[in-house]
């Protein structure tokens, strides 16, 4: 898998988590622990995307 393909996949997963978080926030019986876990995963993906992009910029 190329770096660009990997970045696209990470961004796709990040967007999917964003949508899932929005849905959970508007759910009448919101699960705060699930919401916290989704946000944590989204932040991890964002950090990984940023690191990969910075690594590409340095070359």
Q: Which domain holds residue 36?
A: 3-58
* pTM for the whole structure: 0.84
> What pLDDT, in 10s, does the model give residues 1-48?
798 999 999 999 999 999 999 999 998 888 999 999 999 999 999 999
**pLDDT value for 30:** 87
Name which of 52, 59, 50 is nearest 6 in CA terms: 52
What domain count does the chain have? 1
């Amino acid at each position: 898998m190329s770096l660009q393909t990997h970045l696209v996949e990470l961004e796709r997963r990040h967007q999917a988590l964003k949508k899932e978080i929005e849905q959970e926030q508007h759910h009448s019986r919101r699960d705060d622990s699930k919401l916290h876990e989704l946000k944590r995963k989204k932040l991890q993906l964002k950090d990984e995307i940023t690191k990969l992009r910075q690594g590409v910029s340095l070359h």
